[in-house]
Amino acid sequence: DADVTQTPRNRITKTGKRIMLECSQTKGHDRMYWYRQDPGLGLRLIYYSFDVKDINKGEISDGYSVSRQAQAKFSLSLESAIPNQTALYFCATSDFLASEQFFGPGTRLTVL
Amino acid sequence: AQSVTQLDSHVSVSEGTPVLLRCNYSSSYSPSLFWYVQHPNKGLQLLLKYTSAATLVKGINGFEAEFKKSETSFHLTKPSAHMSDAAEYFCVVSASLDMRFGAGTRLTVKP
């Protein structure tokens, strides 16, 4: 079974809709991250969380919010989706040393 | 602040020939450096990492990378490419809880 899972894997939505992407992990890591990937730009950090009560903005947090419901769950929300949020979204986890991040399979989001 | 530059957006090699994917970094700290691989429709998988131990780092699937502080480089190499190596590769620099990804290099392997 995968250590980091993301749901849904694919989603098509319309401008203005609220969308939630979910991430679960069984690695027992405290740290969780949300990234978006755009062609030619690599991965950019949206939000990260070092534990349930610690949430921090990343490089590109505008237009996004997150919720850390439990150690194992970290959700990303788009309150009012816009077309330039069309991207591949990855969740990742790491232990407190942050020496390596473990990635989920990604969610491909299309906003029409 | 730190940053990563992958010098080639696309590299094409023939099966059995060497692979070189180039990465330069900038960091105000003593960074950790990583190479990740992403196969189509998959998440990222760690190939190898440098964390201030040996400067020549060996990873999975025959890949290795050499940390050169004087050149601020961390190039990824493999002596002989295999068809299954076709993927996108990301160089990553990490220091002081800040992790930055390069833009990626797409490796194509021709039969």
Note the pLDDT tens digit of each residue in A1-27.
Answer: 579 999 999 999 999 999 999 999 999
CB within 8 Å of chain B, chain A residues 8-37: 35
User: Which of A24, A51, A103 has the most B C-beta neighbours within 10 Å, making it the best mutation to test the interface with B?
Assistant: A103
Residue B96: the pLDDT is 72
Q: Is the pLDDT of residue A99 over 80?
A: no
Q: Check CB contact of A82 with chain B, cutoff 8 Å.
A: no
Q: How far apart are CA B100 and CA A94, in angstroms?
A: 15
Confidence of residue B98 (pLDDT cuts 50, 70, 90): confident
SS percent in chain A: helix, strand, coil, step 5 = 5, 55, 40
| pLDDT tens-place string over residues A20-78 | 999 999 999 999 999 999 988 889 999 999 999 999 999 899 999 999 999 999 999 99
Shortest CA distance from B44: residue in chain A: A103
Confidence of residue A98 (pLDDT cuts 50, 70, 90): low
Confidence of residue B58 (pLDDT cuts 50, 70, 90): very high
The SS3 assignment for A60 reads coil
The SS3 assignment for B58 reads strand
CB B110 within 8 A of CB B42: no
